[in-house]
Each structure stands twice: as structure tokens, then as C-alpha cells.
Structure 1
């Protein structure tokens, strides 16, 4: 069985390069079953993301945490869906009576999400090809050398559409869970959702990128009546911290 901690082996050291070399020989268009974890057995395009995804070791702690939430039959949001790994897991967790709404602005990533939906014959997952922010309109987005990643930047190379969670609030009901991983734009996501969070009171799994984002998000969430609990720090050495965010009234 593949070690669940495979993804914790850094790719930039000798050991990491050694264990990953055979994986680099796999055709990028190959479709393989995810080998373990919450997505075990689901079909995955090898070249869409890191190998740890189809090996089942990618963010194993987050996978285990998600499996503890009672999401069946509810609506969940995946904001910053990337190529759809967690969207797929969530589609399985909410079941046929539930719904996953994924938000992803990068065309490359949207294409892979659609491939994964088709490969797995998923019917409860909808993609919105937009970013979520504090006001509707459009923003510049910079892609990176890691093609599946990108971030908001004034000198970005593509323009993407933006909507707010408050705009979405009239279109959805029973939102029980929200995952937010948006490469430094997380405070903007929260600012645009005051009515949404007051109405739905979902649990939030939040990734923050940098201390300023931590401080800004904490201030906003305290105002919304939420509590932040650290679940990981400096993930993969990228100054990324992860938080379990819950309504204060559920903690009493």
C-alpha cells in the first residue's frame, strides 16, 4: 500500500526526485484510479495535477478531516477548485441527494474538472467558471509555472469574471460546508459573503496565504461570529496555513 505521507516528501530534494522519477514516465493523458483515501477508485487524469492525487496521499490530513463531517444530502461549495480533486471527494460525501458547486476561473483547470466529472459519471457537481471576490465584475489573474495554479494580480495575463457569495445566496439553500483555497484572495471571498454566512452558517475549511491574510480573515470571521482553529501551518513550505472555521454558536 502506498504510504499516505508520500506527498510530504519534498520534490526539490534528492529523495523526492528519486521516488518521483518513475512517476514522471507515466503518460500525462493516462487515466488511473485513485489508489487510496476518500477518493479511492475514482478515475483521475494523471497529468492534471501532482502524482500524490491519484496515489491518494495528497493532503491526507484534510481528506481525513472532511470524512468526519456529516455532509450527506447538503449543498457544499469548493471555492478555488483547481482541477477538481476535492470537488470529486465532496461529490461522493454529499451523496445523490446533495450538491457540490465548484468555482474555478482558470480554463485549463475547468477542462480537467469536466473530464473528471465525465470519467466518473458525476451528476451532483456543477462548475461556475468564475472567481469569488468582494464585488462582481472582472479581475486580472496571473498563471504560474505550475499551470494548475494562479492568483489575482494587477499585471495578470488573463481576465476572469468575479461574483460574490452574497450574489449566490439567492440561488442556493442548505449550504453546510465551504472550502476556500484561493492563493491570497481569501479575505476578499469572505468580505463578499456577509449575508451568505449569516444565512447559512456553514463550516469553513480555509487556506490562508501569508500573515496579512490570516489577520484580515480573522477580523472578518470574528465579525461574522466564527471561530478559527489552526489545523496545519506552513503547508509544503509555501507559507500556507489551514484553518477549521466554525460558527461560535455550535461550539457552546
Structure 2
């Protein structure tokens, strides 16, 4: 775990100077040793490795990335640092299992991995002139929990370019049974592709007894609505918050 700790420390240091996402600095409040975590839309592992360090040898991190190149980099990093409590999977998560088409936009001949999105349910696909279509396996959080016989889920991070509502739908049983903390990227510019909006996504969790927070000035602060000022929002169940 020493190499995992070194990479996690580097990412935390980057967060302190805005080179990586600042919410990394607030993970320790919600991820304890032994925690079971999901990193959905893991990309190169910005959250995977800090979560692995916090969960420790007794914990688990289930990291999902559907794009081929980011996944290969994630897998290579995982092998290089020997993160034994991490399981990486080349797949997307949704509200159903199977295979789906993933659209990877290109600009000036280069892939824009941060704009990749699943085609199913698209209402407004956007105007990117060029794109590569990749068929990817798709699971649900609930199905993963069943197949891997996970006894608990404590934390879910999700960055899926507007597809949050579908991933949450596929995690309904897990959310109701385990009440994990949820860190979601929520932006109307991405949600609009699927005919969704931020009020709908946040509202669905608030209605389930969650409270919403943003990371600001070194701590989590309660928020009552999604704003363009922040991209990432932490949802903690009301009962879990009272126990803290």
C-alpha cells in the first residue's frame, strides 16, 4: 500500500493547488478503513487511488472506465503500484445490463475523452462533427453488488457526462439498502443531452433523505440547489449525517 499512498498523496497535493479536483481533500470524512467504494467513470484514476488509500487493505474500490485508452492507462497504473484492494473493469454503468454504443467525439483529429457519452437515451446529441463509436459492456451497480457479493457499499463517485439519472436508477436497491455517500458531477450542459436537468437529479436524492454539500474553503458546506459555480456535489443520507 506504500505506492498507493504515494500516488494518493500526490493527487491530494495537486488538489491543494487546483491541479486535481479539490473534493479529493474531503474524501477522508466519508471513506473509512474497510470501506467499499465505487469509482464510476474512473478515467485515469484520480479518485481510484485516494479511495484505495483511505479504504485500506480491508476495503475495496471497484473502478469502472468504458473508454479503451483511459482504461488501459488505469489498468497499467493499477498494476504498477500494486493496488490489491482495487478492481478495475472496462465497462460503463447504467440502468440495465448488456452492451451500448458510446460516442467519443474528436476535434482536430484528437479524441476528447471528457466528452464521451453513451448514445442510449440521447435527446440532444450535440454538434461535434467527428466521433468514434465504441460498443461497450454495461452493468448496473445493483448487479455488480450481486455478482461480486458485496456486503456493503459506503461511497460512490460518479462522473458520467450527464448519464447520472440512469446510473442512479441502476443503483436503487444499493442506495436504499446501504445509504452510501454519493459524489456526483452534476452539470446541466451534460444532462441536457439526455433531456434531464440538475434539479431532477439532485431532487431525486433529496427526496430519498439525502442532503447535498459542496467543498468550499476546506470543508463540506450544505447546499440547497445546484449552481454553475460547482461541478461536484456530495450527497450524504440524513441519518448518516446525524450519526457523525
Q: Which residue of 2 aligns with 1:241?
A: 231
Bigger mean CA offset, 162-171 vs 107-116: 162-171
Distance 1:106 1:56, change over 3 A: farther
Query: Secondary structure at 1:166's aligned position in 2?
Result: helix
Distance 1:143 1:129, change over 3 A: same
C-alpha separation in 2, matches of 1:111 and 1:79: 16
- Gaps in structure 2 of 5+ consecutive residues: 126-131, 217-226
C-alpha separation in 2, matches of 1:178 and 1:58: 22
**C-alpha deviation, 1:249, in angstroms:** 1.6
TM-score by length of 1: 0.71
C-alpha separation in 2, matches of 1:223 and 1:63: 26
Q: Which residue of 2 aligns with 1:148?
A: 113
Deviations 1:49-69 (A, max 9, x none): xxx969974334211111333
Equivalent pair of 2:62/2:88 in contact (CA under 8 Å): yes
- Gaps in structure 1 of 5+ consecutive residues: 1-32, 43-51
Please provide the CA RMSD for this pair: 3.0
Q: Which residue of 2 aligns with 1:157?
A: 133
TM-score by length of 2: 0.74
Q: Which residue of 2 aligns with 1:172?
A: 150
Equivalent pair of 2:35/2:60 in contact (CA under 8 Å): yes
Give the number of the structure with larger relative contact order, counting CA–CA contacts within 8 Å between residues 6 or more apart.
Answer: 2
Query: Secondary structure at 2:42's aligned position in 1?
Result: coil
Name the count of aligned residue pairs. Answer: 206
C-alpha separation in 2, matches of 1:205 and 1:246: 9
